[in-house]
Structure 1
Amino acid sequence: MAPRIMSCFGKPLRSSSTKSSKNDVAATADAAMEEQRRGDGPILVELFSSQGCKISPEAELLISRLGRGDFNLDRPIIVLGFHVDYWDYMGWKDPFGSSQWTVRQKAYVESLQLDTMFTPQIVVQGGAQCVGNEEDNLLSSIASAPRFPSPNFQATFQKPTPETLQVSLSGQLRMKIDHQGANIMVALYENGLMTDCPKGENKGRVLSNDFVVRRLEKLCTIKDTSAKKNISGTVNFSLWESFSSNKCGVVVFVQQSTSHHIFGSQKFDINV
């Protein structure tokens, strides 16, 4: 069955502040970590968009400016862009769209108790959302987002084959993880993407995209872990033909298993 989708011009029908039994679980986890909320780590901002959505280019520009530091905020920001695939039927298949990113957005729609999926949508620290082209709401969500200590991972990069990037990570989360557990995720993103769009709602436009997630892998799942426990692991990314390390970066983030809240993130340049 096709996903229930709102027009990309629409807004969520119910606020993400709606309370439910699912959110009670998340609230319990948050309360246990309240003392660690005073960390100085980055805020993770995720954009869900599509080249097939007429107003997504506005959100893409906003997120590019945010990632470049144009807003001179008093806290570091990490930006990731996920291109969903459910607008492909409009006549233009987004070359960066993936059903994997659609599934990720759907998980947020459920955890935030929204009534529908829509683009462009921004999710801040996994726990708040707004329409992706609403600058004031975005900046307000960032200002009120909880902050956690940034992990102190060290990263090494290798290319065992021309088609593979290997990322090895070792360090501490600097964040206690309780029995509910968390996933340590590793994203490979690309900047400076330009696409001529001959069809669909953006027909005739040249679309610019930054911080586009090309690959996402799980390093490991952890629970009942102290903030000082050393964690290490390796992920392997399959590369695309035009891959250039100068245009790409890697983001590591810790995501709570039930609430989907982000409990810390860290960004790396690729030196290979």
Structure 2
Amino acid sequence: MMMRLAVLLVVISGWLSPVAAQPQPGPVVVELFTSQGCSSCPPADALLMELSSREDVLPLALHVDYWDYIGWPDAFASPKFTKRQKAYAHQAGRSMIYTPQMIIGGQTDIAGFKPVETMAAIDAHKTLSKQAELSVSRTGDRLEVSMAPHGKGPGAVRVVLVRYTPHARVSIRAGENAGRVMDYVNIVTQWTALAEWEGTAPAHLEAPYQGDEKGAVLLQAPGPGPVFAAARVR
């Protein structure tokens, strides 16, 4: 998918403005690694629900599969999200992964339920210097993404499309949370690399975007590393 779509990435020189459309304000991306089978996760899930009402934050729930063995398979879980969590740990030089765990802006690691620390990290990321402009628009079944460096630019980044389900209610019948009825928000169903961008010149790409499921586009350093920009699909 990434290789086929990457050919649509066109570098445009000589623009008078960084991007063709007015860039959207970039929300701070908050990734929560969670599981329906984890008894410590419900408070973090509730915090993510609280964050979902904010325009300046893009909260995303990535359900991992390593709790499934205790008797309740999480229908939202994917081994791809477990692999992503492990990749963050590797980048940080750690051998352990935890649930719940939040990653703020692809950089700040918060293990466990720590709402004060989480809010402080979000506020801190809002003050970081902008390194990229990002504009996203949808026309029918087509998605258009424009990006440009801000200042020196972010360097090489991956252009990522995230699709997510805004809300689901689950009656959990086994495992550590047996008997609980849980509400989950922004449940990630797809994490797709659309293209690679060198981050030094304005560029534009188009990609298919079908269905009513919510989505967002991220510019993130490989690794995974810092998230330099994010925009919801409107």
TM interval, shorter chain, is 0.7 to 0.9
Identity %: 26
Give the counterpart of 1:92 among 44, 61, 72.
Answer: 72
Paired letter, 1:232: L
Distance 2:133 2:117 in 1: 25
Structure 2 unpaired stretches of 5+ = 1-23
Paired letter, 2:59: V
Equivalent residue, structure 2, for 1:169: 144
Equivalent residue, structure 2, for 1:155: 138
Structure 2 counterparts to residues 14-53 of structure 1, below 5 A? 41-53=26-38
Give the counterpart of 1:265 among 216, 230, 233.
Answer: 230
Q: Any conservation in 1 of the 2:102–2:110 contact (CA below 8 Å)?
A: yes
Structure with the larger RCO, 1 or 2 (CA within 8 Å, 6+ apart) = 2
Structure 2 counterparts to residues 171-210 of structure 1, below 5 A? 171-175=146-150, 176-178=153-155, 181-210=156-185
Q: Does 1:131 align with 2:111?
A: yes
**Structure 1 residues 205, 224: CA separation in 2 closer, same or farther (over 3 Å shift)?**
closer
Distance 2:200 2:112 in 1: 35
Q: Any conservation in 2 of the 1:219–1:233 contact (CA below 8 Å)?
A: no
Distance 2:58 2:129 in 1: 12
**Structure 1 residues 189, 208: CA separation in 2 closer, same or farther (over 3 Å shift)?**
same
Equivalent residue, structure 1, for 2:196: 221
Structure 1 unpaired stretches of 5+ = 1-38, 70-74, 159-166, 240-244
Paired letter, 2:74: D
Larger mean CA deviation between 46-55 and 149-158 belongs to 149-158
Distance 1:118 1:253 in 2: 24
**Structure 1 residues 144, 170: CA separation in 2 closer, same or farther (over 3 Å shift)?**
closer
Distance 2:112 2:85 in 1: 13
Q: Any conservation in 1 of the 2:134–2:145 contact (CA below 8 Å)?
A: no
Paired letter, 1:156: T
Paired letter, 1:64: M
Paired letter, 1:203: A
Distance 2:177 2:147 in 1: 44
Equivalent residue, structure 1, for 2:51: 66
1:156 is displaced (CA, Å) by 2.6
Q: Does 1:230 align with 2:206?
A: no
Distance 2:140 2:90 in 1: 35
**Structure 1 residues 117, 157: CA separation in 2 closer, same or farther (over 3 Å shift)?**
farther
Structure 2 counterparts to residues 91-130 of structure 1, below 5 A? 91-130=71-110
TM-score (norm 2): 0.81
Q: Any conservation in 1 of the 2:136–2:143 contact (CA below 8 Å)?
A: no
Q: Any conservation in 2 of the 1:41–1:265 contact (CA below 8 Å)?
A: yes
Listed one character per residue, the Cα deviations across residues 42-88 of structure 1 (whole Å, up to 9, x for unaligned) are: 2111100000100211111101101113xxxxx81111110000110
Distance 2:136 2:216 in 1: 11
1:168 is displaced (CA, Å) by 1.9
1:90 is displaced (CA, Å) by 1.0
SS state at 1:65 partner: helix
Root-mean-square deviation (Å): 2.1
